[in-house]
Amino acid sequence: MSDAAERLRARDRAEVARLAPAERVALALALGERDLEIFRLAHDPPLEPDEAVRRLQRRRQAGRRPSRCAERIVG
């Protein structure tokens, strides 16, 4: 890895370490929302938010042992 990438990663870790726990949770939630929106808009036509969430959940479950509970939730 390049020195520049290592410096950026170290800087990011230091910035997150200075955050209060509630701020870290808020950051994680904001990043998740941002990533969901990027995924949703990457499709043509863009997916509805609920459909994007369902697709991501299905992908997460792919290859895992089937679960009746997960099948009811994810579909």
Per-residue pLDDT of the chain (75 residues; tens, 9 = 90+): 689 999 999 999 999 999 999 999 999 999 999 999 999 999 999 999 999 999 998 888 887 777 778 777 766
Q: Does residue 36 contact residue 56 with C-beta atoms inside 8 Å?
A: yes
Handedness of CA 17, 22, 28, 30 (dihedral sign): negative
For the whole model, what pTM was predicted? 0.70
Q: How many other C-beta atoms are found inside a 10 Å radius of the C-beta of residue 56?
A: 16
